[in-house]
Amino acid sequence: MTDTVSPLAGKRLEPSMLVDVAALTKAYYDRPDPAARAQQVAFGTSGHRGSAFAKSFNEAHILAIAQAVCLYRRQQGVDGPLFLGIDTHALSRNAFESVLEVFAANGVVTMIDEKLGFTPTPVISHAILTYNRGRSSGLADGVVISPSHNPPADGGLKYNPPHGGPADTDATGWIEKQANAFLAEDLAGISRIPYEKALKNADVRRYDYISGYVADLANVVDMEAIARAGVAIGIDPLGGAGLDYYQPIIERYGLNATIVSKEIDPTFGFMTADWDGKIRMDCSSPYAMASLIGMRDKFDVAFANDTDADRHGIVTRSSGLMNPNHYLAAASAYLFTNRPGWRADAAIGKTAVSSAIIDRVAAKLGRKLVEVPVGFKWFVDGLLSGSFGFAGEESAGASFLRMDGTVWTTDKDGIILGLLAAEITAKTGSDPGALYGKLTAELGDPRYARVDAPATASQKAVLKNLTAEQITTRELGGQSIEAILSKAPGNGAAIGGVKVTAADGWFAARPSGTEEVYKIYAESFRDEAHLARIQEDARRIVGEAFAAAG
């Protein structure tokens, strides 16, 4: 976030300020200009996202992407079923219909929720992996229609290949290029049939997503321990796709849990506004999570998910809403001492911009730490092979292995991360906030922040390609610089920016993929004043790089 917080932050918006769903739905059928860059298909780290109002998420985009996915599947020899999920954003249902029209016309066996309900991202990943287990041919893949925690006017679509996780840039680049070619040709070459006909097509099959996922949870989280301890749990799906899953979970495992809000409303008017006064279902934001935070004393532990339930927000009695980095550290420390079925060499995966407290936890545990660039796709292979026991990123997304050390999901799973908070409380007698407090007493108490700073397109390009040789400064926060990284040490892949470290702190700077800003992540193991000094040095170092580039 920036340094400026809106006066609307943490408050419910007036009805007049909410998205006009009727107008948004009408705009979905407007045609984008294929020659305008901002109106083309663009796959980021989590698929294609945009808004119908901006002509960046419209029927034409979705038809083109769906046809491109069909062609990509044929090219890759993927001929098993495609598991299709959607979240509760207003445009998701329209996009679902568009996708199904194309998939049915192309003969793709498509698995949709048996009641045409909502399906979270981790459930799709779980379904893909469950189906593909033991198979070498006829493999399944999936599509999730969701812009994650983005504002109500946005839409999104992401593709998960047979490995069950986010597609890599080779796949998304191919799909993006082909989809834009369809847009440029006024959708020529796209096969589709009417939605009502598609629903009755033999290749479109109803599937019970809920039962399979819920029944399997006992193999990844100690549900019996949670029930036996009677942990009082508060759950807020934030009006998202996880809502239909929590009551079956509560009933199957006999949990002492309360779903604190069951509202589903495409305007998300029940949400409190985020830091900038916009509605955003960001379960790591104290402003968006104001309602659940206000209930912290009613429960032993509480948690929320974003709209596709791939992110988690943990609220504890001891510390309120946990910073995502803090929970990743606490979860890592707990899991690796409570999962005897995991491989002795199973590592902890983290992104380059996640807290260094995780590094210290790994050292304490004697576990290997693998640091990768931003994006959950970098964790897929490690989770699939069992070589990563736990993998997480600072934006509150993580997953971990089953009890027996085999893969659970290769995409983020906010549901199991929430239930894990209850398991920690049940088995240790302390909530995750208290566990984190014990860790910092031993390993140091870091101060972490992310802020945005303005940058032009040319400056963002400079930052993306910045190298250690271009940085002449030798100090950070009053300490000698120990390392300057442009590639992640865990896999040698480009960070897409730079990371500078010293003994008691570090910063990383990366350009935004969607806005004219760059992001500064910084951390100090001293105090707030030292953190501010690191942030100041970070701005100066990046500014010098911009100036040198002209």
Measured between alpha carbons, how far is 440 from 446 in angstroms, rounded to an integer?
Answer: 8
C-alpha triplet 172, 407, 409: angle, nearest 5°: 45
CA distances for 239 relative to 5, 131, 157, 262, angstroms: 24, 29, 19, 7
| Backbone conformation region of residue 429, classed left if phi is above 0, alpha if psi is from -120 to 50, else beta | left
Measured between alpha carbons, how far is 121 from 164 in angstroms, rounded to an integer?
Answer: 10
Pair of tokens at residue 272? 């409190």
Task: Single out the catalytic residue among 46, 148, 319, 355.
Answer: 148
> Would you say 530 and 524 are in contact if contact means Cβ atoms under 8 Å apart?
yes
Measured between alpha carbons, how far is 180 from 177 in angstroms, rounded to an integer?
Answer: 5
| 395 among known catalytic residues | no
> Would you say 152 and 280 are in contact if contact means Cβ atoms under 8 Å apart?
no
Q: Which residues, other chains included, contact 22 with Cβ-Cβ below 8 Å and sequence gap of 6+?
A: none
Measured between alpha carbons, how far is 432 from 466 in angstroms, rounded to an integer?
Answer: 38
Measured between alpha carbons, how far is 251 from 526 in angstroms, rounded to an integer?
Answer: 46
Could you give the strand order of the β-sheet that contains 233-236, starting from the edge strand earlier in sequence?
Answer: 257-259, 233-236, 301-305, 312-316, 320-321
Q: 31: how many CB neighbours lie within 10 A of its CB?
A: 13
Length of the chain: 550
The b/e string for 340-367 (b: 16+ C-beta within 10 A; e otherwise) is: eebeeebbbbbbbbbbbbbbbbbeebeb
Measured between alpha carbons, how far is 468 from 466 in angstroms, rounded to an integer?
Answer: 7
Q: How far does CA 121 lie from the centroid of its chain?
A: 9
The b/e string for 184-201 (b: 16+ C-beta within 10 A; e otherwise) is: eeebeebebbeeeebeeb
User: Catalytic site residues?
Assistant: 148
